[in-house]
Amino acid sequence: MSSKYNQMLDYTRNHFIKLARENRFPENGKISHDKDMCLVCHPELIEGNVPLFFFDLILDCIAERRPKIDEDLLTAIKEELTMQELDDDIDLEKLKQNDPEAFQKWRMWAWSAVNTAFEMLSLHSASTPYLQLEDTFSENEIEAKLKQLFEKQRSNTAK
Ligand SMILES: [Zn+2]
C-alpha cells in the first residue's frame, strides 16, 4: 500500500465517521469534501474487495452513531420492529446479556440499518455502487460482521 493510499483511507474513514457522529450521513452526497481524497467518490482506487470496503465503512459509521446498548439503541430497534409490523417487545437487560430472542430483534434492526446506509451511500457520487446485504455477501460474512458490531456495542456498554 502506498502512503497516498493510506492517506486516502484515513481521510475517507474520518470524513464518514464525522458525518455519522453529526447525524449527517443521510445527506452525505451533498456535503462538500476533498473528492480527490475520497475512496467513496473513487471506488476504482479501492485496493482489495470493494463491497467489503463499503460494508466495513458502514459498520464503523453505525458503531459511531450507536456506540452502545442503551435506551437510544432500544428505541431505534423498536421503531424498526414496528415498521416491519413485528412484536416490538425487547428488554434492554436481555439484549445486554445476549439473550437469543433479543439478539434476533437487534439483528433485524442492524440488517436494516446497514442496507439503509448502503442506499444513502449509493447517492454519494455517480461512481458509488448500490449494494444490499442479501445480494452482495454470503450469510457467513454477514453474520460475522453483524456479530462484530454487536460485540463492539456490548463491550462499550457499562455492565
Ligand atoms: Zn466523496
User: For the whole model, what pTM was predicted?
Assistant: 0.94
pLDDT in tens, 38-54: 999 999 999 999 999 99
Rounded to the nearest angstrom, the distance between the alpha carbon of 22 and the centre of ligand 1 is 17
> What are the C-alpha distances in Å from 152 to residues 29, 40, 66, 145?
27, 24, 10, 11
The per-residue pLDDT for 98 is 93
pLDDT for 57 beyond 70: yes
Rounded to the nearest angstrom, the distance between the alpha carbon of 107 and the centre of ligand 1 is 29
Domain regions of the chain by residue span: 3-155
Rounded to the nearest angstrom, the distance between the alpha carbon of 114 and the centre of ligand 1 is 19
pLDDT in tens, 83-139: 999 999 999 999 999 999 999 999 999 999 999 999 999 999 999 999 999 999 999
One-letter amino acid at 158 equals A
